[in-house]
């Protein structure tokens, strides 16, 4: 049974690394700290090594634009698409307190680049959209701390259990990161401005997280897993200028960045044999139109991605390796609050966003 629980733990804990940062491109799910997703197994509390160090990496390229669920294929055909390359390196440390309780701190490091036409080449108020340039951001993301508790007695429920987690996300990531926009100043000179919201290192808000993680053994080599995560960001906007009002007077209500909530849910089945675990499941992640607490105006790109999520892991005596590749099945850029305010019965306004085809995640865990 310990081997089965260990395999379930590996599948859930490492696969959640893939939620770490800027989930699918312009829909900006940035570094909020990785959901723990069963960072402690019931039997771990009796071990002499009470610490678990997780290190994860994530990379994707987003370039396919969507309005609603409709792909704007002409963007790639005409080479006018926005291209984001985003990499996250995540470190989390968990302390096992007893058979019920554990605490965790997560520190993300982010490396981003954004290539576009529409943000560059504005000379004397006219943009011919024929100059592609890149902007970059590097540094610390938003740090998160959380506490977790198994809801059922682990000694009496070894085949299945549910874990609840609550945490705080701090605004440690730079939410006003600047790089050069080209040919936008007087006489076509480059100018230092804030980068796009999708590659900012933080969202500028102190948030609160809620998680629910569960597993159930259904046969000798098979089990089920499920995880859910929600970030509540009460702050409405962070004061960071977007410069969207310079593109069109109609975008005046999108001049400042919003501080949106975020969510993730996933579940599936895994196969365990010795130290190997293979899993397949579905994943939903996104950014809502309306926050649970606080206002939802200003500029945000709400949307969601539904993915097929295969993954595999292998455990050694005290360490474990993980790889996963969520593949997007459905990508939707929903109407924001400002989109709806600009819409009329004759003209529905729906902004676009770029999404990735897939995400590559890797992870390593070591018990101290």
Q: Any idea where the domains of the chain sit in the sequence? A: 2-367
Whether residue 19 has pLDDT greater than 50: no
> Is residue 68 classed exposed, middle or buried when 0-12, 13-18 and 19+ CB atoms within 10 A define those classes?
middle
Q: Which one has a higher pLDDT value, 6 or 84?
A: 84
Name which CATH class applies to 2-367. Answer: mainly beta
The stretch 225-254 carries a mean pLDDT of 92
pLDDT of 28 over the 90 cut: no
Decide if 239 contacts 256 (C-beta within 8 A).
Answer: yes
pLDDT band at 24; cut points 50, 70, 90? low
Report how far residue 109's alpha carbon sits from residue 174's, in angstroms, rounded to the nearest whole number: 11
Res. 197 pLDDT band, cuts 50 70 90: very high
**Bridging pattern class, strands 101-116 and 133-140:** antiparallel
pLDDT confidence tier of residue 16, bands split at 50, 70 and 90 = low
CA–CA distance, 250 with 255 (Å, rounded to integer): 10
Q: Which of residues 36 and 299 earns the better pLDDT score?
A: 299
pLDDT for 184 equals 83
Q: Report the distance separating Cα 350 and Cα 336, nearest Å.
A: 8
| Angle formed at CA 239 by CA 236 and CA 241, multiple of 5 degrees | 120
Residue ranges of the alpha helices (H) in 16-159? 73-77
What tokens were used for 152?
């059922």
Confidence at residue 26, expressed as pLDDT on a 0 to 100 scale: 64
pLDDT in the model for residue 249: 83
> Would you state the torsion angle of the CA atoms of residues 317, 8, 42, 265, taken in this order, to the nearest 10 degrees?
130
Q: How large is the average pLDDT for residues 17-39?
A: 47
pLDDT in tens, 92-108: 999 999 989 999 999 99
Question: For the purposes of burial, counting CB atoms within 10 Å of the CB of 61, is it exposed (0-12), middle (13-18) or buried (19 or more)?
Answer: middle
Q: Across residues 136-156, what is the average pLDDT?
A: 95
Q: Is it the case that residue 267 has pLDDT exceeding 60?
A: yes
Q: What was the pLDDT predicted at 3?
A: 46
The predicted-structure confidence for 158-180, as pLDDT tens digits, reads as follows: 899 999 999 999 999 999 999 99
Whether the per-residue pLDDT at 309 is higher than 80: the answer is yes
The band of 15, judged by pLDDT with boundaries at 50, 70 and 90, is very low
Could you tell me which residues come within 8 angstroms of residue 94 by beta carbon, excluding any fewer than 6 positions away?
Answer: 36, 39, 40, 51, 52, 53, 54, 102, 103, 104
Q: Which comes out higher in pLDDT, residue 1 or 185?
A: 185
Residue 36 clears pLDDT 60, i.e. is over it: no
Please state the pTM of the whole predicted model: 0.90
φ and ψ at residue 253, rounded to 5 degrees:
-80, 5
**pLDDT band, very low/low/confident/very high, at 48 (cuts 50, 70, 90):** low
């Amino acid at each position: 049974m310990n081997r089965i629980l260990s395999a379930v733990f590996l599948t859930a804990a490492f696969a959640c690394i893939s939620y770490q940062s800027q989930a699918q491109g312009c829909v900006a799910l940035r570094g909020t700290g990785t959901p723990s997703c069963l960072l402690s197994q019931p039997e771990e509390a009796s071990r002499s090594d009470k610490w678990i160090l997780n290190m994860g990496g994530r990379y994707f390229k987003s370039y396919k634009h969507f309005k609603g669920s409709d792909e704007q294929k002409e963007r790639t055909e005409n080479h006018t698409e926005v291209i984001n390359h985003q990499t996250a390196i995540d470190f989390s440390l968990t302390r096992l307190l007893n058979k019920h309780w554990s605490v965790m701190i997560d520190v993300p490091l982010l490396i981003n680049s954004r290539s576009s036409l529409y943000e560059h080449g504005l000379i004397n108020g006219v943009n011919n959209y024929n100059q592609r340039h890149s902007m970059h951001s590097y540094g610390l993301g938003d740090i998160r701390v959380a506490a977790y508790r198994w809801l059922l007695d682990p000694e009496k429920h070894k085949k299945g259990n549910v874990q609840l987690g609550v945490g705080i996300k701090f605004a440690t990531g730079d939410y006003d990161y600047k790089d050069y926009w080209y040919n936008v100043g007087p006489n076509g000179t480059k100018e230092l401005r804030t980068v796009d919201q999708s590659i900012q290192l933080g969202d500028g808000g102190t948030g609160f997280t809620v998680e629910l993680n569960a597993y159930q053994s259904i046969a000798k080599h098979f089990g089920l897993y499920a995880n859910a995560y929600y970030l509540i960001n009460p702050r409405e906007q962070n004061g960071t200028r977007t410069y969207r009002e310079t593109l069109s007077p109609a975008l005046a209500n999108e001049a400042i960045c919003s501080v949106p909530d975020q969510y993730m849910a996933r579940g599936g089945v895994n196969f365990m044999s010795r130290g190997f675990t293979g899993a397949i499941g579905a994943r939903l992640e996104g950014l809502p139109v309306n926050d649970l607490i606080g206002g939802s105006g200003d500029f945000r790109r709400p949307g969601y991605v539904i993915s097929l999520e295969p993954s595999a892991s292998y455990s050694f005596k005290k360490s474990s390796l993980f790889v996963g590749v969520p593949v997007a099945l459905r990508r939707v850029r929903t109407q924001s609050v400002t989109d709806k305010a600009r819409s009329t019965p004759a003209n529905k306004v729906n902004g676009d966003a770029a999404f990735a085809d897939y995400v590559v995640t890797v992870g390593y865990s070591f018990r101290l």
